[in-house]
Amino acid sequence: MKTYMSIAALAATVAAQESVRYLGRVNPATRELTWPSSGLSFTFTGTEASIDIESTTGANSIELTVDGEPIVILDVDGSPISTSVLPFGNHSVSLRKRSEAQYGTIFLGDVTSDGTIRPDTPPSRQVEIIGDSISVGYGLDGVLPCTDSAAYQNNPKTYGAVAAKALGADYTVLAWSGKGLVRNIATGNPEDEKLPLIPALYSRYGANDADGSYTFPESWNPDVVVINLGTNDWSYLGYNENGSYPARDPIDPATFTAGAVDFVHSIQTHYPEAEFFLLNSPMLGDSWPTPEDAQKTTQTNAILEAIELLNDEKVHFLDWPSQGSDVGCDYHPNEATNAAEAEVLAAAISEVLGW
Ligand SMILES: *[C@@H]1O[C@H](CO)[C@@H](O)[C@H](O)[C@H]1NC(C)=O
């Protein structure tokens, strides 16, 4: 037996879906949540609201925020994500993915309520964060030693998300663990060298969509673009396919500098007014793997060189000092380390933007 919605009910459903605002990059053709921080938001007048999940792939964790109170769901299993029953009135709801695309994705269904769903007011300030596992929030909720998972990833607690929220800004995160600007993390597998780099991933709508699929819609025109790349480009240890060590040569910093200049230029073709903040890596230090590598200094200098070549007052360097010994899974910055850098980033943005 088929059931048919009344015209009025159908119209209400269509109106409700049109009132929903996507957060981050969500391809409206697929309604697939891929990128960390991608999600949706809306307000409703009523007592409860529910977000249907059409399907999921892999493992996903999300944060649902109802009237400013975050609720963490560590394993999205396909059942609807619902608010509790609230006092009748106006309520705000937002949902953001905590974990990254390589673990899994979520296909959204309809948003429903016993009341009326209405659009919320988007913040006028917009911040975009581009990066690797650090910007994902990889292992952020774990304590070394631990094995990263969708549940241990916590994008809402990353430096970028925390800084954006402190400034009342909306934010988009384009981040993928293990990825680099000019080369991905050293795995010793030559096939991995052929996988897309961050500039290619940046051109996608959903993280698993085709290269070049992002349409750069007018609704997203960030005031600030934060780039935190290089940790993976600098990696070279590990065994290569012949069992010899290390897996590859240390990076030529000039290659990274040239890549950074090209990437900033290409983003500027879309966002000519944006202020850029280029960060160095809290995971690199000057004594590991060897003092001769001086990875922290070498990476910092490569970024400073790119900024000099860009010769643009809208491009700034921001220092993220080498982290301490309290770390998350696989030596990733934990909540406290992210919170400390969020303050530094928010202060720098405030000063430059006058926010
Ligand atoms: C909900 O918000 C709308 C728009 O601001 C307002 O007109 C209405 O009175 C509010 N309703 C309740 C129950 O507070």
Ligand 1 atom closest to Cα of 90? 1
Contacts 24+ apart (CB under 8 A), 337-343: 337/282, 338/137, 338/140, 338/157, 338/158, 338/159, 338/162, 339/157, 339/159, 339/162, 341/159, 341/279, 341/282, 342/158, 342/159, 342/160, 342/162, 342/163, 342/166, 343/163, 343/166
Q: Which residues line ligand 1 (CB under 6 A)?
A: 45, 89-90
- 5 CA from centroid of ligand 1 (Å): 28
Q: How far is CA 100 from the centre of its chain?
A: 8
> pLDDT value at position 246?
79
Q: What is the mean pLDDT of each run of 10 residues along the chain (355 residues)?
A: 68 82 97 98 98 98 98 96 98 98 97 96 98 98 98 98 98 98 89 91 98 98 98 86 76 98 98 98 95 97 98 98 97 98 98 98
What residue owns the CA closest to ligand 1's atom 10? 90
Taking the alpha carbons of 222, 118, 96, 341 in that order, is the dihedral positive or negative? positive
What residue owns the CA closest to ligand 1's atom 8? 90
> pLDDT value at position 11?
77
> pLDDT value at position 96?
98
- 220 CA from centroid of ligand 1 (Å): 28
- 261 CA from centroid of ligand 1 (Å): 49
- 49 CA from centroid of ligand 1 (Å): 16
**Beta pairing partners, 58:** 104
- 71 CA from centroid of ligand 1 (Å): 24
**Beta pairing partners, 275:** 224
- 100 CA from centroid of ligand 1 (Å): 36
The values of phi and psi at residue 55, to 5°, are -165, 165
What residue owns the CA closest to ligand 1's atom 2? 90
Ligand 1 atom closest to Cα of 88? 13
> pLDDT value at position 1?
43
d(CA 124, CA 127): 10
Residue 309 structure tokens: 């070549």
Secondary structure letter of residue 317 according to DSSP = E
Query: Which residue of 19, 67, 90, 121 sits with most ligand 1 atoms within 8 Å of its CB, as the best mutation to test the pocket?
Result: 90
- 168 CA from centroid of ligand 1 (Å): 22
- 91 CA from centroid of ligand 1 (Å): 10
By three-state DSSP, how is residue 201 classified?
helix
- 90 CA from centroid of ligand 1 (Å): 6
> pLDDT value at position 3?
60
Is the distance from CB of 48 to CB of 85 less than 8 angstroms? yes
> pLDDT value at position 178?
96
Is the distance from CB of 39 to CB of 97 less than 8 angstroms? yes
Query: Which residue of 44, 45, 91, 118 sits with most ligand 1 atoms within 8 Å of its CB, as the best mutation to test the pocket?
Result: 45
**Largest separation between any pair of C-alpha atoms in the chain:** 73
- 118 CA from centroid of ligand 1 (Å): 11
d(CA 42, CA 264): 33
The values of phi and psi at residue 135, to 5°, are -80, -20
What residue owns the CA closest to ligand 1's atom 13? 89
User: What are the DSSP E strand ranges found in the chain?
Assistant: 21-23, 32-33, 39-46, 49-58, 62-66, 69-73, 81-82, 89-97, 104-113, 116-118, 126-131, 170-175, 224-228, 275-279, 315-318
What residue owns the CA closest to ligand 1's atom 14? 89
What residue owns the CA closest to ligand 1's atom 6? 90
Ligand 1 atom closest to Cα of 89? 13
> pLDDT value at position 13?
80
> pLDDT value at position 4?
66
